[in-house]
Every structure is written in structure tokens, then in C-alpha cells.
Structure 1
């Protein structure tokens, strides 16, 4: 065939390049069909320009193409379609024939569907069928495919399990198939109903005459539903027949595949929601037992259509649609503003409102419903024309999108060439005219939709669509791809699990509350700085919410708390695990109490928990965790600074140590607990160890040592409330080798003769935290005397060498920025301040303070450190401690150098971008290194 003829035919189509490429491929593969092609060249060119997947099929099945082209004028009903399927099977009813294997009948069914889809597409493109005819023929094709597949599956099931005595099974179509308005690439929404749960299958006889494989009726019909779904949707070498979606069944993916008629009745009576009423408007028996199908329709009628005017249904539908709106891209003609779904929602809302009193409105087809609403004067002539005309336009556009590649898409193409071709397929001169006209149509639909739901608008929620049961996993992945998620597959699983948690509630009110709150949580999680982490914890949290209605009340009243909690889930592994472990801490989420609590108040809180009958070891853990959560949430929200946090956590530790010591003090009244390290300096942060030593006035006896051991066990042992603290007692004389409890005299001798220089550094932070006040004061006097007399003996080189060894052996700088042990980090500031304290405290006793910030202030006042240097070091120290606390809450120890790690800290610290944070961080490190080097060299 001449190239000019092919090109002329292609140029007459909306997509000349595609048409010409496909025509050329057809001729190359089917040279003997040139005459047939020439006779139908314009029709074939139109098909090849419109549908790539059908063009591919025709290239491989040229005879089928020309057979179909000779038989396009008359539509096929279900009877003629069944005959065509039987003919393709060799004139036999292949669905019940013993000669057909699973694979062979799957192949027959898929070939049948392709042939008929080709025929319907040509009737559509050649305008031999209007939109309503096309949708009906596609739906009839699906009905015949499902019905014959069910016969095959049912026959196979009987051969394996026998059948129940009362064998009734019906397939109910929902959605587009139920309304007989199927698309070219629609899923089929199905639910399966059977007659009664009573009884079991007859089983089958073995060669030895034994009955085997008996199943309860429920098991049998669930297996039948699974087998039918698999038969239709399995992707074989011949493709799949239909994607089957069963998520509209009671309890969604959690629910049983099939239910008895009575099971559906009980569910809808007890749990049915407005969206399920709207969904069932289009329910229709599509295959299986016709009488059972009619019984199902009779059963749902009073649930769907109420005798009273149900304005609450409009509120729920409006809420669902409003939540969906912001998720979908502007080019989504199904779910976007003024799209297909808005026309359907408009019609369904009025059906739910008036269908109970007006039986004429009980119609499945959207176009027929609109006409009947006009007949009953529930909408005006102009609204009817706008909605019905634009519904036809949008559904035709949907067909053109799906005809191209057999994909379930509703989104306009982003490429200019593809959009241009689509516009011409819809009858426009170019893409500009097409997009302009489409925008005007959608604006009119939206205006009418808003007129019905005026006064019921809600804030748009990105994740509302995830609770729309019609949203497939593939669509969900597509929408999530526009978020900051790293693992979209896991996010889909988390969201489905969150969605399913609604059905665990035992009250309808609880389900409704949960159904309104969880989309807000998902929305907040997806907008958070770390959506993957937030969704992981939200998935677990949803199970807690579904177990306690009182938690739902908190979030229903205080919607701002949703953002607060998801922020914690996105930022803090430490707090998230704590909240999930003890959900009663949720009561504290909205706490507006001041940051600081006096020691007395903290001890009273511990006492209050004990008075409720809790053991001391549980009470201290509960109060410790509650304070960490309270202060952690205030810190993450930047409502309090690191100074207040470390003081609050240090005071909490002191209250706990004091309470435990008082509880165990009988027989050991002169024992004192001395805090060192961060505890002594009032500088502990989230998850800090406690450095402590035990001191007695006189030589410790057995009772005193036992008390110290009990105190340690009380704090470090695992209980159902977790561990209170990790305790480090290695700063006692002789470290691990030394006795646990030492007398004042033993400490005096040790510091005078055996202590290493770093132990004097540690002594600078010593502070009484529990036990005997008299013993503690005596120890503090001893500590001052020791430091004043021996502090100047500590050399700069000793401290510097130890610092360099720590940097070399312990620093995690290779894994990221180590703000504590790395160069120019926290320890450089602390070691320098401690060295200057030791060197000068003999002359200036006021330098003996525990905290690093206070030490820098005293060094400045004494003229040992320049005022600007002291301010720079205090600023750097608080900057580092803020970072350290933030990292602890995230469950991390260093700042990762890659962009993702830097992003979190940069945002929390208030920087516009990662580069600004790194620049500031490096400058502070340089200042700290210069500070350290200057004062150590000066020595």
C-alpha cells in the first residue's frame, strides 16, 4: 500500500503520528491484508490514533479486526454476548464443560473481552453508539464475563467440595458497573452474598468411598468469592479480564469476602454509614442466583431510602467530598473540582434526601436520576442541562483517556503533544480551546454543586480520599508520590491499616468519630517534616484510638492537638514510643502548665501516684515519663528553651532519687546520694544516664550498703513501666573495683593520695541530690577543700591529652557531626571551663559552681575569660545542647551530613535552608576550638 494513502488517512485523525506508526506496523506484520485495510482505511486510522492497546491487538489479530468492522451497526445485548462467548468456546458452554481447564477458559474469556472491547470502541469512535449505549454495552460485557466465570468457578468448587444443600450465591455489582455506566478501563466493584450460614457442603467421595473436603457454608462461599476474584483479575499471558475491587464490602479489606443475606442486614442496620447508603444506590445483581439478588435489593431498600428527610446524609457526603477535593490534581476530571464525582454526589445526595418519599428517584443511572430530579422539580431546567451535558462530556473525555493505553486514568496528560491530540479527539481545534472549554464546564458544575452544599463547607483535607473506598492502591501510590514520602509502598500499607482500624470500634458513634478524625491525622502526618516516620507511629496510634472513645473526645474538641501529636510522631522516636507505650499520657497533650515545677510539686506528684496504690518503683517511672513527655512536647514546639528543659529534667531526677531514698532510709539515715556529671550540673537531657556516688558520715555498715543496692535496683530494674534511669556509679573511689558506699574519710584519703586528674574534673559537678543532708553538706565541704587545695595541680596538658584521646577513640564524627565529642563540640567548652575553674578556684572560691553556663559567667566576672568570649561560649553551648536534646528526641546521636539529616535540624533550629545551618554550625565550632586552644596554650 502506498505510503501516501496511509499518511492521508493518518492526517485526518486527531493524532496523525500515532495513527501512521500503527498503520505502518499493521502493514508490515500483515501484508496480505492490504486490500481489507484499504477498504476500511479511515475507520482503522481513527481507531489506531485513539487506542494504542487496541492497535497492538489488531496488529496481532488482523482477522478479528475486519470481522468486527463488518458487524458494527447493531448493539449486542447480554443474550447475544453470551452466544458470542459460547461460539468462541467452540459452540460449547465452556463455563461448565469438563473439557476446559482453568488456563484454557481464562484464555477464552480474556480473548472474548478484547474482541468485544474492540467492537464497542469502534462503535463509539465511529459514532454508531452514543455515550449511554457505550456504557451499557461495556457493562453488559462485564456482566456476561462475570456470570460465565462464576459458572466455571462454581462447577470447579462443587467438584472439590460438593455444595451446600441450599446453594444460593449472588454477585452484586456496585459503582459504575452497578449503574451500568462502566468505563473502558474500570475496576468492577463487587460484593458477594449467599443465602444462609447454616449447613455445610456435601463433600466429595474418595476412591475408597470416604467423604472429604466438607466446609461450612460460610467457608465455601468465601472461597468461591476468592476464586471468582482471582479468575477475573489474574494477570496471565493473555492479560486480565477485570480488576476486581471488593473494598466496598462491610468492614472493607478487614471484612469477610462473602456474607449471608442476614449478615448484610445486621451490618447495615447496626453500622451502616452515609457513604454506604450512597454506594448502595447503584447496587444491582449482576450474576448468580437471581432470587437471592432480588432479596438483597429488597433488604437494603429501607437502609438506603429513609422515609424521613435525612439532612445528615448531605452533611456526611459533603464532608467526604470536601476532604477529597484537595488531594487530587487539577487535571483529575473524576475527583477534582467540577468533575464527574461532583455530578454523581449531587444526584446521590438528593436521592438519599428524597428517595424515601419519591420511589421514582430510586434509579442507578446518573443521567436518568438527573432527569427524574427535573421531573420532580427538585432541580431546574438550566441545572439539569448543565449537569447532564457536562456529565456526558466528562464521561466521554474519560473514555478517550482510557482508550489510549487501557489504563484506569482520569488525569489530563501533562505533555503538550498529548494534550493537543486529546483536544482534537474531543472535537476542538487545539489544546488551548479544549482546556478553556473544559475549565468553563467544570466551573459551572462546581457552582451548582456548591449551591446544594452551601453552608456545609469544611476545611479541605488532603487525605480524605484515602477513606474513599473506591480509591485503589495504584491511585493511592500516585497521589502519595507528590508528597515527601520515601517509602510509598509502606505508606500505603500504613494508611490501609489506619483505615481498617475504624472497624474495630464497637459503637457506631465511635466509628464516626474515628472516621472524621483519622483523615485529619493522616493529612497532618503527610504535611509533616518526616511523613514516613509520622505514618509509622500513626499506624500504631490508630489502634489505640480505636480502643478508647475518650481519646477521640480529646481530639474532637481540640483539633489543634492533632497537629501537635503528629509533629511529635514526625520528630521524636523517643516520645512517640513512650506515648504509644502508655496511652494515658495522651491526657497531657494539651497541658498548658508552666514549664518549671518546684521540687516539692514533683515529689507531691509521685506521692499522689503512690497513694493510688501504685508501688514506688512504678510511681517514679510514671512521673519521670510524664515529665519527659510534657517538657519534650513544649521543647519541640519551641515553647520552652533547652535551659528550662535540662533544669526540669534534672529536678525530676532529683525528686525521684529523693523519694526512693526516703522510702528506703530506715536503718541507714546517714547515707547521702551525690549527683555528678550532667545530674550534678543540672544539665541532664532526654534519656540521660545519672552519675551518682554514695557517701556515709562514718564507715558504712551492711544496712547502708543494702540500702544503696536497693536504691539502684529500684531505678534500673525493668518493670511494666520500663526503666527509670541507667545509673553510673563508676566515679566512686577505685571505680568499678571500689566499694559501692564509702565514708567521708575514705573520700578524703582517696582525693588526697590516689585520685586521677579527671576525678577532680568530675568533682566540680558534685551536688547533693538525696539522702542525709548533714552527710551531703559535709561531703560538699570536703569537695571544696579538695578542689581549692589541689585544683592548681591539674595540668593543661593532662586534660588536653585526654580530650584528644576522646576525640580520636570515642567521637562519632565519621558518622556525622558529633556535637558532643567532636571537634569544637560540647566537651571542648566543658573541659576548657573546668580547667579554668580548677586552675583558679584556689584564689577565687566562687568559681566552684556545677553548671557550665554558670561557670562561664563566674569566669567572666573574675576577669579570667573575656566578656565577648564568655558570651560566645554560652551561646555555642546552649546551641549545642539544644541540638543534642533534639537529636535525643529523634533517637539519633549525631547530625547526619546528607541533606535529609540536615533538613530536620535546620528546620527545628529556625534556619531557612541547610546551608545556613551548616555555616553557623561550623563558625561556632571554630570559635570553640579557638577558645580551647587559647586557654590551654596560655598554660
Structure 2
């Protein structure tokens, strides 16, 4: 007993969670495992791996020698045993398959699985002939899953390779199941194609997942169509049974044909013509979204390819259907409604889950893919990359979505591998979380680090999903009466809050005010706002940005150029959004000079103007209004200075925006602000002089920051006034005139802004 306790302590120190049980297993193994313990403690769950290894060694003692001799075999086998209790059980039943793990790459999956059921792979329509083909299919299939899992868990296969190989393996299994079905059903009169849908069609299948399919049949030349369809239906049913029936080796997975026309209430098998007739007349929006993933995977591949080609144009024109976006949003909402009880821990369907990413990507694909063939990708990550390259998704957003999707899929695979069961729920048990964290390379604090990364990726996925789903929110508040809104006010508020809006109720009011109605102005705003709202959300103050946008739009919305400029010039709209959400000072300037929006179109427009050009424009404004300079038609000093101050606000806005976008450095900002103040003072002095110009010379001396040409946006204009009587003018008269000019100047510059 003391020796066992000592061994238990040593094993616990090495990293086994239950040192006593591990010590007992080592003792029962009847052989020295010390040389394997260091490898065992590096896997995700050393205790689980030890249990499976001792059972496997009991069944096949030579396994331990193989592990000692082959380092690659050892790392692969122990990695599998440390994650998957189910594959450990499989190896105990079939220890001969350990040898598969010593092979770097396996041969063609279709050929292997067909041979396993006694069919000849080279035949045009293979037919099973072996004994107990259902069991043989399952054993061969799981051997290949085990081999792939070993490469996956040891970092020898990335996510894309894993999901593609699982999808191809599923296609091979469907082909073998079809060979079994042909041995039961006379198929002489019919061609049958199996079209993969969903993740199978997109080559992004999980380890354990329903395999979604659609069946397409055509009678052979001279055959009766009705009889051929009956035979095809029996063949499809037999194929599905071959995959789903439970045997001594369990089942493969469910084959789900629910995506077919009319769903489960429709015929299992249709001809190509029948499929097309349904899609042209009766299909709903979600059916075209599902067809985006369609790919021929088994049976008559030529017929399957013809089906995919025939529906392709309908898929990529689906976005032109009435209420397309609302239909996509409604489907997503229905999915969310089914997972409320466990939504927080749902990797697939919950908020921030895989479906959020997939729906956002598919929506963008369908909207933009009609005109951009480069977006027509089945799988999520390649489609996301294409959207980023095409500029439909920002690089940072694309990177965030891709990282979240990759992490969530890896976790999903680890969850499913454990028991080879379909699950998408993150466990709450600490031992399960520890296994997940260690499998992902987290060793210091596997539970804490895993939880933090999972939550972070889920929040980012949700934020970006909502960002890409702005259009449904916009339509809810701009086109429908409150009683008809398909997106509830509560849901709309929640979406705005998730994107950083502090006052979602106020935001909804602004959106409605801008976009409600049938006018051209409201129509253009409905086009602009989805994008603008996303840009506002990326600023420090989205609420202020939206409020400022509404205020500027109220001032300029009726002018013909304003909304057209925003619609046609992306740079103007995006820069405007950033300015409105970054600087209340710049926004205030824009409120008084809304026409300054036009200068946001290019860096050249934002270049700081020279003092000479500013003085020329300001002097011209004064000349138009001051009677002494303009003659009888002048409008007075107040009007002249109001024009100069308007010029000043516009130029302050130019400088502030250039500052926000890093087009000028701090020294240049100080110089520009000081020059602008100089010009304003000079122009105001010209307006204020009046008759005093014939009495005395008057000068303004800049002091402080203004004198040093380093003014800030909030700087006062510190100055001194100096005058000198003209020749022949009494000093008293000149001094009185100078005081009058100074007071007039200060009064003109302190008038409220118009």
C-alpha cells in the first residue's frame, strides 16, 4: 500500500488529475509504463488516455512496444486517446487499426469504403456484395476518422483540411451506402444523384453531424418516368437506412433530406425538371440560401452537376426577390428562438455562435454575389476572404470573424470527438473545460484561458454579426408602422446596445426620422444608413455621431448635392461618420457650416490654406459689405464680419478634420490656427476702422500663443492695440478714434454666431 500511495503522489505531480486511480491502472497494466508517462502527461486528458491505453494494451500487448519504437505513432495515438473516449473504445474493439496511425496518409476514401462493403470501385455503379456490409462500412469509416483526428490533434492538419476531408469521407460513405442499396433495389431504370447540402456540400463538415442531401433522379433512356421515380425513391430510402440504422458498431450519422422542395411533406426524389419548376414558382428565400452550398457528392455525379448548374442562376439572383433581407433576418430570428434555454453555452446557434458568422457571410454573398462572381464560394472562410478582398467586409472585421469562426469550429470538433456524439454545448464541468483548454494548447490555466478566449470570440462574432445585419434594423424602423414591425423594438435596442450605442431609444428615433417616408431623400437615406450606422459604431461616440448626422442632414437634406455626394463618394461618408463620432468641436463647426461636408472627399481638399489666400478671401468679403470700401451698396461692418467668421468656421473645420485624420502635425495645427486668427483680426479691423482710417494708424500686436504661432483650438486671442496719429491730427482726436476702433473691433468679434 505505501508503494501505491507513493506512486499516486508521483503521478499526481506529473499531471494526472486522479493520481490514485492512475497508479492503480499502471499497476494493473503489469508492465513498466514509466517511459510512456512523460508523453501521456502532455495530452489533453492524461487520465482518460491512460484508461484507454491500459485497456488497449490488455487487448493487444504489442501496442506498447509499437509506441516505444515509433515516436510519430506514439504522439498520434496518445493525442487521440487523450481527447476521444469513443475512439479509444473503437480501438479496443479493433486494435489492428492502431497501425493506421503509423501511416502518414491514407489512400482514396471512396475506394476503401466501397471495398469494405464488397463493391468494386471501378464499376460505373458499384454494388455491395460482402458479408455484413453495414458493420464493415462503420469500422472502415471510423478508422479513417481516427486517422484524421490524430493529424488534427497533433497539428498536422488545419481546420480547412479537416473539414474538407470529413466532407469527402462522408461522400465516400454515401457512395458505399448507395452500393449497399443497389444490392437491395433494382435500379436498372433510373439514374440517381446525391447532392450534398449544408456543411457537407460546402466541404466544411463536422466530425459528427447530420449529412444534408437532396436527391435528383432521371429515368434511363426508354424507361417509364413514374416507375423510375419509384425505384429511385426505394434506392434513396435504402441508402439512408444504410447510414442511420444501428448495428453492433452503432450508426454513421443521420442523412437528412429535409432541404428538398416542400420539405418533409414533399416527395423524397424528383427529376431535375420538377426541381426547377418548384424553385421557379414556389421556393422561399431560405431555400435559395441553402442551395448556395449545393455540391454533387455521390451517385450520378454528372446528373448532380447538371442540377447544381441549373439552380445556380436562381441562387445568385435571390437577393432581388421582394423582402429578401427581411426573410433572411426572420429565419435567423427563428433559429435564435429555439436555443434560448441553453443559448449562452451554444457554440452553433446561440448569440456569437457559428450561425451568426455563417448568416452574416451568406447574406453578404447573396446580396453582392449577383454581380461579383468572385464571391460565389460554398465554404464560409473562403467566402469571407473573398468578401474582404472585394472590399465588402473590412480587413479587421474579416480577420475578427475568421478568428472567431476558426476557434469555435475547433472547440466544436473537440466536443464531438470526446464521445463521437453530435453536440454544440460548451460544458460547465471543470474537468471537461480543462480537457478542451489543454487540447487547444492552453497549459498554465486551461479552464480560465479557454473561458476567456471563448467569451471574447463570441462577443466579437456577435458584434460583427449585428454590424452586418443593420439593414433589417433600418427597414424595421423606416418602412413599417410600429404595430407591423417585424423586428421588435426590444430586439432593435439590444442590437444597438451591442454595437456601443448608449441611448438605443434615441438612436431609433433618429433612424426613423431620417428614413421614414416615400421621398427620394428618405429612399437615399435608407441606402446610406446601414453603412453609416456601422461606421458610427466604430467611433468613440456612436450616439453623438448619429445625432450629428441627423442635424446636418436636416440642414442640407433638401439640397440636391448633399445626399448624392454621400451616396456616390464613399470617402466623404466614411470621413463624415468618423468626424461626427470623434470630435464634438468639429461637429459644432459643421452645424454652422454644413456645406463644409464637401471638402471631406480628398486629402487635397483638407490641405491647410496659405495665409495669403485666406486674407484675400476675407478682404473680399469685407469689401463687399463695408460702405467705405464698397460704396453705397455696402451692408455694414456687422455683415462683413459675419462673412469673415463664416469663413473662419469653415477653415477651422478643415484644420480640425485634417488633424483628426493625421494629415497635419501639431506644429502645423498651431501655425494654421494662428494664421486663421491673424486673418480674422485683420479683416475685422478693416471693417471696424471706418472714418478712423483718416485719423490714425492702427496695429494689432499678437501676444502669448498667438504671437508664438502655436494657438490651440480653445486659445483666446491675446493682443495689444497700438496706434499712431496721422500727420496734422491732434493726439487727443487720434486717441479717441483709436479707442472707438478697438471697441468696435471687439464688439464685432463678440457678436453671437448666426
**Match among 170, 178, 182 for residue 150 of structure 1:** 178
| Greater displacement, 28-37 / 248-257 | 28-37
From 436, 444, 452, the equivalent of 2:452 is 436
Number of matched pairs: 439
Which residue of 210, 216, 223 maps to 2:234? Answer: 223
Q: Is the 8 A contact 1:313 1:352 kept in 2?
A: no
CA distance in 2, matches of 1:440, 1:311: 37
Q: CA deviation digits over 1:793-834, x for unaligned, max 9? A: xxxxxxxxxxxxxxxxxxxxxxxxxxxxxxxxxxxxxxxxxx
Change (3 A) 1:409 1:457: farther
* Distance (Å, rounded) in 2 between the aligned partners of 1:99 and 1:16: 41
User: Contact 1:322–1:459 (CA<8 Å) still a contact in 2?
Assistant: no
- Partner of residue 321, structure 1: 332
Given candidates 174, 184, 190, the residue that maps to 2:197 is 174
Kept in 1, the 8 Å contact 2:212–2:255? The answer is: yes
Give the one of 108, 112, 124 matched to 2:136: 108
Which deviations, in whole Å up to 9, do the C-alpha atoms of 1:814-859 show, x marking residues without a partner?
Answer: xxxxxxxxxxxxxxxxxxxxxxxxxxxxxxxxxxxxxxxxxxxxxx
Shift of 1:437: 1.3
Equivalent residue for 2:380? 366
Tell me how far 1:397 sits from its aligned partner. Answer: 0.9
1:52 to 76, 79, 85: 85
Q: How far apart, CA to CA, are the structure 2 residues paired with 1:427 and 1:98? A: 45
Find the counterpart in structure 2 of residue 163 from structure 1. 188
Residue 75 to residue 29, structure 1, CA distance change in 2 (3 Å): closer
Mapping of 1:785-864 within 5 angstroms? none
Which runs of no fewer than 5 residues in structure 1 stay unpaired? 203-214, 461-515, 518-939
Q: Structure 2 residue aligned with 1:250, among 237, 257, 261?
A: 261
Distance, in Å, in 1 between the alignment partners of 2:308 and 2:116 is: 34
| 1:120 matched residue in structure 2 | 148
> Partner residue of 2:291?
280
Structure 2 Cα separation of the partners of residues 138 and 199 of structure 1: 38
Determine the structure 2 residue equivalent to 1:818.
none
| TM-score, normalisation: structure 1 | 0.44
Query: Does residue 185 in structure 1 map to residue 208 in structure 2?
Result: yes
CA distance in 2, matches of 1:240, 1:119: 19
Quick check: 1:37 aligned with 2:67?
A: yes
2:419 equivalent among 402, 405, 421 = 405
3-state SS of 1:256 partner: coil
The verdict on how the C-alpha distance between 1:187 and 1:227 changes in structure 2, with shifts beyond 3 A counting, is same
Determine if the alignment matches structure 1 residue 22 to structure 2 residue 47: no
Alignment of 1:133-144 (within 5 A): 133-144=161-172
Deviations, residues 360-413 of structure 1 (Å, cap 9, x unaligned): 111101111011111211111101111112111111111101110011101111
Q: How big is the shift at 1:295?
A: 1.8
Deviation at 1:197, TM superposition (A): 10
The gaps in structure 2 that reach 5 residues or longer are 1-30, 477-485, 488-754
1:103-147 deviation digits (Å, cap 9, x = unpaired): 622222112101111111111111111111111111111111212
Distance change (3 Å), C-alpha of 1:326 and 1:308:
closer
Report what 1:69 is aligned to.
101
Task: Mark the CA change 1:352 to 1:63 in structure 2 (over 3 Å): closer, same or farther.
Answer: same
- The CA deviation at 1:446 is 0.9
Q: 1:393 aligns with which of 395, 407, 421?
A: 407
Q: Which residue of 1 aligns with 2:275?
A: 264
Could you say which residue in structure 2 is the equivalent of 1:787? none
1:390–1:441 CA contact under 8 A, matched in 2: yes
Specify the SS of the correspondent of 2:185: helix
CA distance in 2, matches of 1:107, 1:459: 54
Deviation at 1:6, TM superposition (A): 4.4
1:894-923 deviations in Å (ceiling 9; x for gaps): xxxxxxxxxxxxxxxxxxxxxxxxxxxxxx
CA distance in 1, matches of 2:267, 2:381: 33
CA deviation after TM superposition for structure 1 residue 289, in Å: 1.7
Q: Which residues of 2 match residues 546-585 of structure 1 at below 5 A?
A: none
How much does 1:312 deviate? 2.9
Work out which of the residue numbers 38, 41, 52 in structure 2 matches 1:11.
41
**Pairwise CA distance, 1:61:** 1.8
- 1:338: which partner in 2? 352
Once residues 71 and 366 of structure 1 are traced to their aligned partners in structure 2, the CA distance between those partners, rounded to angstroms, is 31
The 5 A counterparts of 1:269-668 are: 269-306=280-317, 309=320, 312-328=323-339, 329=342, 330-428=344-442, 429-454=445-470, 456-457=472-473
CA offsets per residue over residues 534-556 of structure 1, 9 Å max, x none? Answer: xxxxxxxxxxxxxxxxxxxxxxx
In the alignment, the residues of structure 1 paired with residue 38 and residue 171 of structure 2 have an alpha-carbon distance, to the nearest angstrom, of 40
Q: CA 1:99/1:449 → structure 2, altered by over 3 Å: closer, same or farther?
A: closer
Q: CA, structure 1 residues 225+26, in 2 after alignment: closer, same or farther (shift >3 Å)?
A: same
Distance 1:43 1:292 in 2: 40
SS in 2 for 1:191: strand
CA distance in 2, matches of 1:307, 1:407: 35
CA contact (8 A) 1:201 1:220 kept: no
> What secondary structure sits across from 2:81 in the alignment?
helix
CA distance, structure 2, for counterparts of residue 141 and residue 332 of structure 1: 26
Any idea what the Cα deviations from partners look like across 1:236-288, whole Å, max 9, x if unmatched?
A: 11222332111111121111111111111111112211111111100001112
Q: Quick one: distance in 1 between partners of 2:465 and 2:449?
A: 24
Separation (CA, whole Å) in 1 of partners of 2:335 and 2:168: 30
Note closer, same or farther for the CA distance 1:425–1:266 as it changes in structure 2 (3 Å cut). same
What is the correspondence of 1:698-777 to structure 2 with a 5 Å cutoff?
A: none
CA contact (8 A) 1:10 1:45 kept: yes
Alpha-carbon distance, 1:89 to partner: 5.7
* C-alpha distance 307-51 of structure 1, shift in aligned 2 (>3 A): closer
Q: 1:174 to 1:52 in 2, by over 3 A?
A: same
Q: Kindly tell me: are residues 452 and 37 of structure 1, through their superposed partners in 2, closer, same or farther at Cα, counting changes over 3 Å?
A: same
**Equivalent pair of 1:284/1:297 in contact (CA under 8 Å):** yes
In the TM superposition, what whole-angstrom CA distance separates every residue of 1:720-740 from its partner, at most 9, and x where no partner exists? xxxxxxxxxxxxxxxxxxxxx
Partner of 1:84: 112
Q: Is the 8 A contact 2:377 2:383 kept in 1?
A: yes
Output the aligned Cα RMSD: 2.8
Please say if residues 153 and 228 of structure 1, whose CA atoms lie closer than 8 Å, have aligned partners that are also in contact: yes
Q: Give, in angstroms, the shift of residue 97 of structure 1.
A: 7.4
Task: Report the Cα offset of residue 310 of structure 1.
Answer: 5.3
Note closer, same or farther for the CA distance 1:17–1:193 as it changes in structure 2 (3 Å cut).
Answer: same
- Say yes or no: does 1:236 pair with 2:261: no
- State the TM-score, normalizing by the size of structure 2: 0.55
Contact 1:86 1:94 in 2 (8 A): no
- The Cα of 1:457 is off from its aligned counterpart by 4.8
Q: Structure 1 residues 265 and 99 mapped into 2: Cα distance closer, same or farther (>3 Å)?
A: closer
Instruction: Name the SS for the 1:184 alignment partner.
Output: coil
Provide runs of 4+ in structure 1 moved above 6 Å. 94-99
| Deviation at residue 322 of structure 1 after TM alignment | 2.3
Residue in 2 that maps onto 1:579: none
Contact 1:199 1:216 in 2 (8 A): no
C-alpha distance in structure 1 between counterparts of 2:91 and 2:299, whole Å: 33
Match of 2:490 in 1: none
